[in-house]
Structure 1
Amino acid sequence: MINLTGSTLNLEQLKAILYQASVVSLDEKALERVHKSRLAVEKIVREDRTVYGINTGFGKFSDVSIDEKDTKALQLHLIRSHACGVGDAFPEIVSRAMVVLRLNALLKGFSGIRKEVLERFAYMLNHQIHPVIPQQGSLGASGDLAPLAHLALVLLGEGFVWQGDEHVPASDIWKKHKLEPIVLEAKEGLALINGTQAMTAQGVINYLEAESLAIDSEWIAAMTMEALHGITDAFHPAIHEARGYPEQVDVAKRMLDLLEGSQLTTVQGEKRVQDAYSIRCIPQVHGASWQVLNYVKEKLEIEMNAATDNPLIFDDGDTVVSGGNFHGQPIAFAMDFLKIGIAELANISERRIERLVNPQLNEGLPPFLSPEPGLQSGAMILQYSAASLVSENKTLAHPASVDSIPSSGNQEDHVSMGTIGARHAQSIIKNTRNVLAIEALCALTGCAIRGKESMAAKTRTQFEKLLKVVAPIEEDRIFTPDIVAIEQLLKKNSTN
């Protein structure tokens, strides 16, 4: 069981909640803070103090006063009007992450929401009730309004939830569980939708998949090195310590570890003096991508435990401040940075694929790894597919965060577009996984030709794992199922 406190959630715990269905509990001290914050909201309503979102309209309507008798209707109208997302739904795992993150943020006790609402969120997580949330429609400030409105709809018995691959009405689910839908009180609708949880949830999934992919890229590159008789001197610790980047040092160390005992790699001067950059500079390039991952992880773990709604309630209600913690700029930058870091893993992988298939570069392997060059094309068009994916990544890597379109009558005149960046990052990760799958298939074939008995122990272990889902290229065949099989194997690694 993982105890949510509002301030201590880390990526390992979140991964367990997402992929191992760990049960969540609500910290008692956090619930005390939540209760005090709620009492403050009720006092504000009774005293008829003018506070944004409690007894005023929203956005450009913030100067419109709302009567006490209409405060419940105000929240209901807010959720319904803001639930205007479009496009395909976020994957169910992202929806689950959104529920966890919104719950954790509200547990900080700055939002004025009732503990009954948070207990319903916990019930949803522990009973696998996940809202169907359209991916498109968020500007990333004032937070992820449209996606979070679709999340909130489910609490109200409206909207849809996942049931297998189907979308079923939330009202049916609550009837099945013998629970009544939530009726929102003052400020609760605003507390539910003002936040960055869509971009952060997608960002967390992105990070977990990207971290796993970065690890996979190393053993795949090591297999490629064996197929190409790569020179291991380039990984000598002194080279990397002389530059000083810890991530670069670590990649070089792991590459030497992966290739220890290989009879297929060479030393400088044995076949040639040095390798091309896509081989020789693996620590420098992959290490830089690890720097990106470390940056992204740091920002995500801060945002996972952040109060991101507006206004925030302090000092038992004596201080209620309107601010802009819902602005997604930190995560927007992180996602744009992640896009570049992962796209580079695909860029360098595609160059290694070219070296594996090009008869001018592949150290005596058959042209295009073809079993019968000319009659059979072998891996020729596999490199085309990789090049296409890499080119697409370059378009997707354009930063979303440099754009902004004013909204709400120019009241919200600068926005982050962070959710777009997070969605594009997911596309780049999938494309990169496919590129690495192609490299893995080509490297598998190259190592099979060289003789697997000469491989390093650790790369041979990976070779054997690949053989369980694909075979080396021994005759032309439809290669799409092979790419899919390896891609799924790599994706599975991110959930373990």
Structure 2
Amino acid sequence: MTDTPTLHRLIPGEVPLSVWRAVYFGDGVTLDPSAEPRVDAAAAAIAAIIGKGEPVYGVNTGFGKLASVRIDAADLKTLQRNIVLSHAAGVGEPLPAPVVRLIMALKLSSLAQGASGVRWETLVHLAACLDRGLIPVIPGQGSVGASGDLAPLAHMTAALMGVGAFLIDGKPVDAALALGESGLQPLELGPKEGLALLNGTQVSTALALAGLFEAERVFQAALITGALSVDAAKGSDGPFDPRIHLLRRHRGQIDVADSLRALLAGSAIRASHLDDHGRVQDPYCLRCQPQVMGAILDLLRQAASTLADEANGVSDNPLVFTDTGEVISGGNFHAEPVAFAADMLALALCEIGSLAERRVAMLVDPALSGLPAFLTPRPGLNSGFMIPQVTAAALVSENKQMAHPASVDSIPTSANQEDHVSMAAHGARRLTAMARNAASVVGIEYLAAAQGIGFHAPLATSAPLAAAIGLLRAEVPPLADDRHFAPDIAAATRMVASGRLAEAIGQDLLPPPVGS
């Protein structure tokens, strides 16, 4: 999280990806008051429909397969309370607090667009909980990514009503007690409000955005560690010549080559073998970084575009159109775009780790790198980086298993009324675990490449890469004789996952943040 959180004003439908990124990493939000008239108009449209006695799905009918059942006007509030309590059927470990904050902010933005029929005071209550740090305890499993993320959003809504629990200072607290201690009354739902709060893709979208933001940090770090590995192995920067990449035209490839070239510029190690180097061509893990990492960057950007649209859209159902007074049922709750984006991010994370692990394997092999075996000054007596490479291989294999696309699966629900679903929620939920794995692999490369560059002293690497090594050496000394390795890996991984490594280099040498 940031040390001094900023309060961002949500202008519904116009929130840039940078704001969602900031909210995920700890900033707050406030609703733009200009949204209130739109919200009030939609709530008035719902009231008018109820007054006429017209049947409207989710307002005065049952839900899902029970949509044909009419509900009496006297039972409309009970109907909305019942849908929340009956749908709060999630299981599994609670979602992380940063993800839940993002869910709440996304739901605010969606409802504030005036197409859901909720009252302004309902949005004010949700915003107040978010502002006071009341984070609903939401079990992570139970959504199939269609009809909205019903079960997890029901747990969010139940907490607003005083049922369930909030997470406060990392501990679950009874929801009614937490609301009272924060000076808030439990939310009483009006007509359609339970359905509006439950319907939508905010959980899948928040999880996918979290995966995107974590993947972005790992990606940037992997560009730096990839450049470190090039210098450690006395590789060539010829493959990063801009003329090569302009011929192929892919934007990501061009940008990655630019970054690698800038990161290596001024390296005395590179200068030492410009005219005298026995290796005609470097291994693909060095030479093809622009092609592989560039394709990954293009994928991250495509996913970011999809998720930015989804975050700014309305995925409720049915939707209220105040210009005509109509309420129309559709399928905006179907999270197929999010599922595809999540699958793309899973592929990207898998490949970031896969390429980094191959560079680690290359560095520990003296036949390929020209460095001491397993990067230790005294191989045999010491094992050096032998097992960190094994750890990297294990993590890469684990990510490969998790990268199987979730969007190709579907199980009919609600007595076959909801007969095709996206599986976006768990497709997105795996991403943060995959990002942690990839960050550890890149962290291992960070250690290995810095160790390799040390063997070339007194020749120095470039100024940017020296800054990267300096950051590491402030916490992790070079490896002489074998020592307890896990703390070194943990420290390097924190630098990767926190963004500190990228910050040490400077954003001007790296591709701009996706979605910017």
After TM superposition, is the score higher than 0.5? yes
Amino acid at match of 1:368: F
Amino acid at match of 1:91: P
CA–CA distance in structure 1, aligned partners of residues 51 and 319 of structure 2: 18
Mapped pair 1:330 → 2:337: yes
Amino acid at match of 2:54: R
Pairing 1:412-423 to 2, within 5 Å after superposition: 412-423=418-429
Amino acid at match of 2:67: S
CA–CA distance in structure 2, aligned partners of residues 20 and 384 of structure 1: 35
1:159 is displaced (CA, Å) by 1.4
1:414 is displaced (CA, Å) by 0.2
User: 2:185 aligns to what?
Assistant: 180
Q: Deviations over 1:94-134 (max 9, x none)?
A: 00000000000001100000100101122122222211111
Answer with 190-199 or 122-131: which moved more: 122-131
Mapped pair 1:293 → 2:284: no
Mapped pair 1:87 → 2:92: yes
User: 1:400 aligns to what?
Assistant: 406
Mapped pair 1:13 → 2:19: yes
Q: Cα 1:452–1:490, aligned 2, differ >3 Å: closer, same or farther?
A: farther
User: 2:475 aligns to what?
Assistant: 469
User: 1:42 aligns to what?
Assistant: 47
Q: Deviations over 1:427-479 (max 9, x none)?
A: 21111111101111111111122227511100000000011232222121222
Describe the SS at the equivalent of 1:360: helix
Describe the SS at the equivalent of 1:87: strand
User: 1:454 aligns to what?
Assistant: 460
1:317 is displaced (CA, Å) by 5.9
Equivalent pair of 1:79/1:149 in contact (CA under 8 Å): yes
1:180 is displaced (CA, Å) by 0.9
User: 1:388 aligns to what?
Assistant: 394
Describe the SS at the equivalent of 2:18: helix
CA–CA distance in structure 1, aligned partners of residues 53 and 276 of structure 2: 83
Equivalent pair of 2:45/2:322 in contact (CA under 8 Å): no
1:387 is displaced (CA, Å) by 0.7
Q: Deviations over 1:204-248 (max 9, x none)?
A: 111111112111111111111111001111111111111111111
Which of 423, 434, 443 aligns to 2:440? It is 434
CA–CA distance in structure 1, aligned partners of residues 116 and 222 of structure 2: 43
1:17 is displaced (CA, Å) by 2.9
Pairing 1:47-86 to 2, within 5 Å after superposition: 47-86=52-91
Amino acid at match of 1:74: L
Amino acid at match of 1:326: F
Amino acid at match of 2:107: R
1:263 is displaced (CA, Å) by 1.4
Answer with 49-58 or 426-435: which moved more: 426-435
1:269 is displaced (CA, Å) by 5.8
CA–CA distance in structure 2, aligned partners of residues 391 and 429 of structure 1: 13
1:268 is displaced (CA, Å) by 7.1
Amino acid at match of 2:461: M
User: 2:315 aligns to what?
Assistant: 308
1:61 is displaced (CA, Å) by 0.5
Pairing 1:367-386 to 2, within 5 Å after superposition: 367-386=373-392
Mapped pair 1:25 → 2:30: yes
User: 2:361 aligns to what?
Assistant: 354
User: 1:344 aligns to what?
Assistant: 351
Mapped pair 1:270 → 2:254: no
Q: Structure 2: where are the runs of 5+ without partners?
A: 1-6, 504-516
1:393 is displaced (CA, Å) by 1.0
Amino acid at match of 2:188: V
User: 2:142 aligns to what?
Assistant: 137
CA–CA distance in structure 2, aligned partners of residues 177 and 424 of structure 1: 33
Amino acid at match of 1:71: L
TM-score (norm 2): 0.93
Q: After TM superposition, where is structure 1 displaced by more than 4 Å over at least 4 residues in a row?
A: none
1:2 is displaced (CA, Å) by 2.3
User: 2:234 aligns to what?
Assistant: 229
Equivalent pair of 1:336/1:425 in contact (CA under 8 Å): no
Equivalent pair of 2:8/2:27 in contact (CA under 8 Å): no
Pairing 1:167-246 to 2, within 5 Å after superposition: 167-246=172-251
CA–CA distance in structure 2, aligned partners of residues 346 and 279 of structure 1: 14
Equivalent pair of 2:356/2:445 in contact (CA under 8 Å): yes
Equivalent pair of 2:41/2:322 in contact (CA under 8 Å): no
Q: Cα 1:220–1:257, aligned 2, differ >3 Å: closer, same or farther?
A: same
Q: Deviations over 1:273-309 (max 9, x none)?
A: 1101000001000000000011011011100111101
1:316 is displaced (CA, Å) by 4.6
Q: CA RMSD in A?
A: 1.5
Describe the SS at the equivalent of 2:360: helix
Answer with 195-204 or 485-494: which moved more: 485-494
Describe the SS at the equivalent of 1:264: helix
Equivalent pair of 1:111/1:312 in contact (CA under 8 Å): yes
Describe the SS at the equivalent of 1:161: strand
Amino acid at match of 1:270: H
Describe the SS at the equivalent of 2:234: coil
Identity of aligned residues (%): 42
Describe the SS at the equivalent of 2:219: helix
